[in-house]
Structure 1
Amino acid sequence: MTSEATPYTDTKSGADTAGEGPSWGALVVVMVGTFMTVLDYFIANVAIPAIQSDLRASAAQAQLVIVGYGVAFTAGLITGGRIGDLFGRRRMFALGLLLFAVASAACGLAPNADLLVAARVVQGAAASLMVPQVLGIIGTVYTGPSRVAAFNVYGMVVGLAGVFGQLIGGVLITVDIGGLDWRSIFLINVPVSVVALLFVSRIPESKNADGTRLDLPGAVLVTTALALLVTALVEGREQGWPLWSWASLVVSVVLAALSARHLRKREREGRGPLISLELFRSRVFSVGLAATVTYFLAMGSFFFLLALYLQQGRGLSPLESGLLFLALGAGYFGASLMSGKLAERMGRRLVASGPLVLPAGYVLTGVAVTVNGTDGNVLWLVPSLLVAGMGMGMTTGPLTGLVLSGAAPEHAASSSGAVNTAQEGGAAIGVAVAGTVFFPALGGAALAADYPHAFTVSLIPLVVFCCAAAVMVRLIPALTAD
């Protein structure tokens, strides 16, 4: 077990420092938490029609079931990471897991739409406390090849949770366990969380014992700025970019500038800012973080576009379209399993290759959609989705590990919060960009025959984002002297 008395001698497990290698039990526990939080980002989409019918929810309330979780999750990640650095990453992971279980139970038992929305916001906040600790724990418990392997597992779990969210939701609702209908997608989190809590002691405790306090003004500024940004991008696109969405974007930029000024002042005074600006002085971290945002612009939005094409353009049910997502997941899973061995041979070239394989899959998918339209055999999409999944699997875990290698160990959870924010924020912005291209291309009539064209055109910015991410990653090897 690690010590909490020193600033950073506590960052490895006792087994690792003894030369026996780290325990993989810790990784299993934190991956359970990771899978649930990412899964709940996607799985609720499938249940919206059933929720509206059962709770008589309005369209606005239905949107808030999705957006409430996403905004609370994304906005709280940086603050959650700093809390873990100060008060203990295992302790905060366990607290977040407990709150997530309670909030999931509240979601599953909600008697009306308003209480469901409130419970989803709490669930997202709990996830924002739990998730940053995961990468922080991986970065402090594992070293060398073990750390590379752990980051690859993390990337695989994140991707599979996103890819299979729709399928798992469709299966749970179709099977209708105990007559619970949509409620089962939330209630299933409760026993899984309880089991994970029973084994949380397998995680070595670690924290940055520098004696500073939580930067509450910084937390308010950063969290508010992120909340306004994500809300404006997600809801603004959904509602046709009303005036309030543009005002929110402007205010978020102003708050971001005030946040940066506050953090610089706090750091000059040695009072422990919410996130240390030292992190961004490492060009490995800063350039890698920019590459992460750019990559997730292309990755997260593809799920959104593919689901629209399959369900609204082809008329597939959530379960049927979820089954087609298996091809994407198979490519992701296979590439993730291979990425550890490939990393030993290719090094950083692997991380740069992934964002180039991904657009190849996108282009092939676009060709398949154009040729087949809405009447051809949908199975022709399988080969291209396999290629796209391989590109995602080659990139997500290795890129995450590369970015965090540029962060000082004592800022493990804070840097993880920044990386998680880059991932979730990039995905949210990507959906907004994709929607801005997709819906005008679809036209006001929104005929099924128009979906192939709109889908294919919307892939163009995604391909550009992938190529830009590959260029950024290629810059990083020359920066490792930082």
Structure 2
Amino acid sequence: MSAPPSDSSHPRLALVVVLFAAATTIMDISLLIISLPAIGRDLAPDTATLALVPLAFSLAFALGLLPFGRLGDLKGRRQVLLAGAAVWVVASLSMALATSIVVLLASRLLAGFAAAALLPQAMALAARLGPSEGRMSGIGLFIATTACGSILSPVLGGAVLTLDPGGFGWRLIFLYEGLAGLLIVAGGLITLPDTGRNRAGFDGPGVLLFSLAILLVVVPLAIGRLAGWPVWIALPIAAALPVALLLRRHLGRAAALGKPQILPASLVKQPLVVGAVALTAVVFTTSPGIFAAMSTALQAGVGLTPDRTGLVLAAFPAGVLTASLVVGRMRRQPIDRQLALGALLFALGMLAIRALFGAVEPTPAPFAAAHYLSGLGMGTLVNALFRAVMAASPPADHGAAAGVQQAFQQVGAALGFAMVDLVFQSARLAALSDGAGAAEAFRAAGREASLYPVAVFAVMIVGVLFHRLARKPVATGGE
């Protein structure tokens, strides 16, 4: 187990820098979710507009992952990571100083693009700077770091909001993120090695078609919530299909002519890869959108303080980490069996959360246990889906396959924010119109929102069962 050669004079410090960059990027999502109620009270937007705050980051992140990942191949990972960190600093300070929801939304978009530049470079550099094999390999350290960041971030955010040192409130969280970005820039300038550059060209048309397809789906869902779901919203969503077909045709032509491709055409022609990537997007419509709703319902409905809410939400990534460690020893189990098990665990956790919102005096510990159970399900699902994509794609395309799966993971998250918020706000308004108090309405909204992932995973379990039955030979009787 030896580390690969590196051009860095301080390879261990360089590895710390890239792992810190990855953790900072991942922590942002949970830190924002725990801060949403406080942001709403301060900037006082309507609830539908507030839901756009996490959606803006996920949308920009999804749009940027593929092109910025490719840009790192072409221009050098050190340069792209440092540029992303510099933009991250600007975006974080802009969020900390935002005086209106419009400024905050624009800053979240900028932060999403910065994160899309940071994360692919951090993963690639971790693989290069760390050991190549074993549990403590560069990739292993990367996964462990991001998982720990996901666990710590809601706890950290809750503590900051509860203690409120200096009276900055939620703004202190973004000031911390700006400081983290400065540390990444300073550490990166000193320690990060130069990486080789690829002379292959950049697939501009492919990037435009890919981005257009995502925008045609996600933006109408966001606007539809604000506009009361007019009929015309269906038109751009329907237009995404021919754009996707154009992208596939473009990739085929580029491959035939030996031109650059944003996605290898060989991947697009693999039905198992396409199916697993699509299923990844579906799974991630349930998270983190559902936990943005849970954060609001726990604070505004149950009355938990931000620090206790953070502890409850931290149980979910703890479950994901536990499942990743356990499922790693179950590689011989069929992938469809893992998918069914993960879906079942997630759904059971959500049903438990629904029941807890209906309790007379709900307490944090049962909520944390239910979130941990759902996290076990998500960890099982993610492991199975990534295994499926790696198994179905050619080894030479594993990097591109992981990139497109990560991009569609963010597309699913962006869709989930819009869809879960639709269920959550509709249930809250319905409860208010029936005469419920504000806290009771938020608890009712939490109960209804928890049914969304249950419905998604129930359909998945049924699909897996039908798939297994279809593979069994039909017994025939002899004459």
Q: Is the 8 A contact 2:276 2:389 kept in 1?
A: yes
Q: Is the 8 A contact 2:37 2:296 kept in 1?
A: no
2:117 to 106, 117, 129: 129
Q: Is the 8 A contact 1:298 1:463 kept in 2?
A: no
1:419-467, CA deviations, whole angstroms, 9 ceiling, x for partnerless residues? Answer: 2212111223334444555556667124426446524533422323663
Q: Which amino acid aligns with 2:4?
A: D
Residue matched to 2:78: 90
Q: Distance in 2 between matches of 1:138 and 1:395?
A: 25
SS of the residue 1:213 aligns to: coil
Q: CA RMSD in A?
A: 4.0
1:430 aligns with 2:416: yes
1:261 aligns with 2:227: no
Q: Is the 8 A contact 1:68 1:117 kept in 2?
A: yes
Q: Distance in 2 between matches of 1:35 and 1:465?
A: 33
Q: Is the 8 A contact 1:82 1:414 kept in 2?
A: no
Check 1:156–1:352 CA distance in 2 against 1; reply closer, same or farther (3 A cut).
farther
Q: Superposition pairs for residues 300-379 of structure 1, below 5 Å?
A: 300-336=288-324, 338-339=325-326, 343-344=328-329, 346-347=331-332, 349=334, 353=338, 356-357=341-342, 359-367=344-352, 369-370=354-355, 373-378=358-363, 379=365
1:304-341, CA deviations, whole angstroms, 9 ceiling, x for partnerless residues? Answer: 453354234424344332222233343334344x34xx
Q: Which amino acid aligns with 1:373?
A: G
Q: Which amino acid aligns with 1:463?
A: F
Residue matched to 1:173: 161
Check 1:139–1:472 CA distance in 2 against 1; reply closer, same or farther (3 A cut).
farther
1:387 aligns with 2:379: no
1:467 aligns with 2:461: yes
Return the TM-score normalized by structure 1: 0.77
Q: Distance in 2 between matches of 1:366 and 1:189?
A: 35
2:431 to 436, 441, 445: 445
Q: Superposition pairs for residues 35-434 of structure 1, below 5 Å?
A: 35-48=23-36, 50-51=38-39, 54=42, 62-137=50-125, 145-146=133-134, 151=139, 153-159=141-147, 161-162=149-150, 165-200=153-188, 206=195, 209=198, 211-237=199-225, 239-243=227-231, 245-281=233-269, 285-336=273-324, 338-339=325-326, 343-344=328-329, 346-347=331-332, 349=334, 353=338, 356-357=341-342, 359-367=344-352, 369-370=354-355, 373-378=358-363, 379-396=365-382, 399-400=385-386, 403-404=389-390, 414-434=400-420
Offset, 1:108? 1.9
Q: Distance in 2 between matches of 1:115 and 1:207?
A: 38
Offset, 1:62? 4.3
Offset, 1:188? 0.7
1:19-53, CA deviations, whole angstroms, 9 ceiling, x for partnerless residues? Answer: xxxx7765543332233223323433444454456
Q: Distance in 2 between matches of 1:372 and 1:53?
A: 23
Q: Percent identity?
A: 25
Once structures 1 and 2 are overlaid, which stretch shifts more, 152-161 or 94-103? Answer: 152-161
Q: Is the 8 A contact 2:4 2:132 kept in 1?
A: no
1:363-382, CA deviations, whole angstroms, 9 ceiling, x for partnerless residues? Answer: 15414642671414333333
Once structures 1 and 2 are overlaid, which stretch shifts more, 274-283 or 185-194? Answer: 274-283
SS of the residue 1:212 aligns to: coil
Offset, 1:195? 2.5
Q: Distance in 1 between matches of 2:12 and 2:339?
A: 27
Offset, 1:76? 1.7
Q: Distance in 1 between matches of 2:36 and 2:449?
A: 23
Q: Which amino acid aligns with 2:310?
A: G
Offset, 1:110? 3.6
